[in-house]
Amino acid sequence: MADDQAARSVPVVVALPAEIDVTNCDQVHDQLVAAFEPGVGIVIADLTSTVFCDSSGVHAIMRAYERAAARDLQLWLAVSQDGSVRRVLQLTGVGRIMPVYPSLQEAMSAA
């Protein structure tokens, strides 16, 4: 039982591409969902190197969030403070639904 708790406390990090749009949003969704393995408690979507994310990308992340919630998992985002991706997530209200951290290190520390 202690091993299971230790496994759940280590988040899984999924590095997302530099650009997320209609051409790769389904792959981004599948990449996130693939991390939802038994024993995983937190998945961190690392968008710190992502410089562009359109509405289809936001939708893909939200669909993955809903799948995570259905499996009793948490999906967190690591998004640089500066740049358009943070702004898009603020405008769409994603930050009110799931935790958004300014760096991967801060997300890992919070876990």
Which pLDDT belongs to residue 9? 67
Domain 2-110: CATH superfamily is: STAS domain (3.30.750.24)
Element holding 51 (H helix, E strand): none
Which pLDDT belongs to residue 54? 96
CA distance 33 to 95: 19
Predicted TM-score (pTM) of this structure: 0.91
Element holding 45 (H helix, E strand): strand 42-46
Average pLDDT, the chain: 92
In the chain, domain spans: 2-110
Question: pLDDT tens for residues 24-78?
Answer: 999 999 999 999 999 999 999 999 999 999 999 999 999 999 999 999 999 999 9
Greater pLDDT, 103 or 10? 103
